[in-house]
Amino acid sequence: METIEEKEKAIEEEFLMFEDWTDRYQRIIEIGEENPGLAQELKTDDRLVPGCISRVWLMSEYKNGKLYFYADSDAAITKGLITLLLKVLSGHRPQEILNARLDFIDRIGLRTHLSPSRSNGLANMIKKIKKEAESYAQAA
């Protein structure tokens, strides 16, 4: 299985192939479209990521010492952003997720090209994922 760092590097290489940010945004939307999302009955208020302008639902499952995430959003770019995070972090041990620096976000220029509200939403998605990982790490 790939490490978090290897997954980050693969995303970085993919995004750096696009010189134009319109193309990068399009790719983010396409990545979101690859995410099957959540069934309507799983989109509950307790799964909402706080502090996001768009609605983002996140749920996790702990199996065999690893944490798996599932998410959905009502906005295309936001769904792509959460899916990018899940591609990197899902399927790893809680402590690995907590230790992840997620440098790829800055290396591909994502944080500087997002609107302040989307950038804040991205930070809140990361915070919620790490909070989930922390609760499982403490229980382990």
**E strands along 1-140, which residues?**
56-63, 66-73
Q: How far apart are CA 84 and CA 31, in angstroms?
A: 7
* Catalytic hit among 11, 28, 49, 52: 52
Q: Is 52 a catalytic residue?
A: yes
Print burial letters for 66-88: b (CB count within 10 Å at least 16), e (below 16).
bbebbbbbebebbbbbbbbbbbb
Cβ atoms within 10 Å, residue 106: 12
Amino acid residing at 78? T
* Whether 27 contacts 19, CB under 8 Å: no
Backbone angles phi and psi of 91, in degrees to 5: 90, 15
Known catalytic residues are 52
